[in-house]
Amino acid sequence: MPEDKNNQKETKKEKSKKSKFLFFTVFLIIIGIVFYLVLQFYLTANLLLGNDILITLTSNTESMSLLHGQTDIAKFNIYVLTNPFCKAECNSEFIDLSSNKTIDKSSFILEPPNSRIKEYLINATRLGTGQDLFRFDVECKSVKTTLCQTKGNFRSRSMLLALNYDLNNEEQKFKQQSRERIILFVQDLNYFESNLKEFSPVTEELEKTMNVENLTKNISILNKEISNFYEIIDNLKNLWENQDYSFLMQEITTAENKLLELKNDFEIINITLSSNIEQYNKLIERLSFARQELTELRSINVTENISLEIDNAIKEFNNITKIFTKQGDLSFKENITEELINDINNLSLTILVLENETNITRCCFANEIIADVKMNKIDLKEATSSAIDVVFKEPYAVCCLFGKCGKCCDEACQIDRKLYPVILLHGHDFNKKISAEHSLLAFEKIQEKLDNDGYLNAGSLILGILNETQRGIWGKIYNPVSVKVSYYFDIYKNLKEGKIIQTKADSLDTYAIRLRDIINLVKYKTNRDKVIIVAHSMGGLVTRRYMQLFGENDINKLIMIGTPNAGIGGNILSYCSLFGGEMECRDMGENSLFINKLNTEEMPTVPIYNIVGIGCKMGNETGDGIVKMKSTYVESAKNYFINGTCSGFNYLHEEMLDIDKYPIVYDIIKGAIKG
């Protein structure tokens, strides 16, 4: 019996343990289910408030300056922020925009908090001076699972990289030396030309008395070769100006060899001509001597026979002068002249002998008249080269985009309206707790479409301190850029550096001040004097306030989408600060001091294009679900009405930016930008 009692007690204890275990098991299951439901509710609520997936993209640099042949490494760090139960499916692409070629394309999975670094070797392969552009694109989406609530839409980020390249030291040296060598070529040609011009009248004079046909022919040939060499000079200059130094080096060597041939030909002509002139002038001297001797003999009283001999010598002299003035063999003329001079010398010697004899009768003088023929020596002077101003067009910087290369933008681009950058400015963020970078997602589709239409996607711009490396890095190409910006960032500066901070709890006046910094930075990077602003919702108010505070000289035109120009009221205003920033909601109130100042002062004179959403019932009125039509409408602006619908948490106010659903919105934006 005691044993039976003990067994009963043990059975009761076991049943009690099982009951407790079952109770705790059910309790834990219920807690788990509740936790799961609460978690699902929390994740769903976050998703509805826009907290899906966020990509952060940073790089070690946005511009490089390399000499030809140098290399550097570009690093892009991809970080994805999503809920802890999600993983991200990502695609990345690194594009050489200058040649329009994809350098790398890859897909990968990221699980927060891990990041992915992509590295690329950048090489300055182009010869000369200019800029190449690269862009890194990444898109990610959350992979939906039981605990990963996501819309499954891809989000993207882009970043431009500018490569500014220049000649290396050896090429800079060759550039200077080759320029000097080309100038020397021109100076040598000028020397040849100047002397050949001096040769021309000399050869014409020689041609009267001697056969210089070969000499004249060689001079003509050399003149033609010099003319042809000037074409070589033009080609060398073109190569120099186009910075084709590798081919220029070969062509200069060829030109030097050709110039050496010209120098040899010139020297042969010069020596031949000098020899002919020397021979000609010597003959002139001998004939002048003969004339002088005959003139003296003609004045002496001699015998009749000797006077006849003198007359014969004069006749011979006159005959030789006739022969001399006719084209012929100069050697023959020299021979007969020397024979005459020998005869004259013999006569002089005979007369000298007769003067010592007393038994000879002197009765006569020579009767022949000595021909009065002018015979002047030829003087060949070496021409001096005049100063030659060889004009070189300094090679222009070359910028390439999508495989097309040309001269980089200069200062004229600064005021070219077709090249003004487009700033895409977001509106009010309905969730003040999530990262401000979420606001940059609003214009993703519009920016992508603008990129297809010639407005280069420059990604997003977070405020930074101006530095010289950023000056004009987006402004050297003949294409405008579009860039997403946010007034939810500011810079906290100290003596050493500036730190970027996120702040979403400020007034619209503060945002307008930040917009000024953003505009200055965009102008600085693009080297343009104005910008175009496309602003959504509250972004339009911030832009209008900016123009009131700082003027409109920096803005070419403003395009507003769903902007509450007359403020918000009712439930919209009441719920605004529940999730969004309190101060900005206060400023947007229809009876706020901010809205009063905004609408009682003069409207800007810049063109304003205003897109108004209608079709959603808002009490007894129509609007876009957030802003009533009468609040969006601006009398002095060009107003466009978009008729749409609202359902659940999907409001036309936000969906107007979805140009897949409302393509007319993009058509209006594009027309306004290009109009």
pLDDT in tens, 384-435: 766 678 888 888 899 999 999 989 998 888 889 999 999 999 999 877 777 7
Residue ranges in 459-579 assigned as alpha helix (H): 508-526, 538-550, 570-579
Delimit the domains of the chain by residue range. 1-48, 170-354, 409-675
What pLDDT score was predicted for residue 351? 82
The pLDDT of 283-287, averaged and rounded, is 87
pTM over cut 0.75? yes
**Could you tell me if residue 284 is left (phi over 0), alpha (psi between -120 and 50 degrees) or otherwise beta?**
alpha
What pLDDT score was predicted for residue 54? 83
| pLDDT, tens digit (0-9, with 9 covering 90-100), for 360-369 | 777 888 888 9
Residue 198 token pair: 């001096």
User: What is the C-alpha to C-alpha distance for residues 508 and 594, in angstroms, rounded to an integer?
Assistant: 8
What pLDDT score was predicted for residue 527? 94
What is the percentage of the chain residues whose pLDDT exceeds 70? 89
CA-nearest of 371, 355, 386, 401 to 97 is: 401
The pLDDT of 117-131, averaged and rounded, is 93
Q: What is the dihedral of CA 225, 231, 234, 235, to 10 degrees?
A: -110
What angle separates helix 213-241 from helix 169-207, to the nearest 10 degrees? 160
What pLDDT score was predicted for residue 5? 53
CATH topology for the 409-675 domain = Rossmann fold (3.40.50)
User: Phi then psi for 218, rounded to 5 degrees?
Assistant: -65, -35
What pLDDT score was predicted for residue 28? 66
**Could you tell me if residue 95 is left (phi over 0), alpha (psi between -120 and 50 degrees) or otherwise beta?**
beta
Which of the 8 DSSP states describes residue 661?
A: T
What pLDDT score was predicted for residue 13? 59
What pLDDT score was predicted for residue 668? 97
Whether the per-residue pLDDT at 49 is higher than 50: the answer is no
Long-range contacts formed by 176-181: CB under 8 A, 24+ apart: 178/236, 178/240, 178/245, 178/248, 178/249, 178/252, 179/240, 179/392, 181/252, 181/256
What pLDDT score was predicted for residue 640? 97
- Give the pLDDT band of residue 38 (cuts 50, 70, 90): very low
Whether the per-residue pLDDT at 548 is higher than 50: the answer is yes
The pLDDT of 181-195, averaged and rounded, is 91
Q: Which residues pair with 485 in a beta bridge?
A: 425, 461
Q: What is the dihedral of CA 244, 247, 251, 252, to 10 degrees?
A: 60
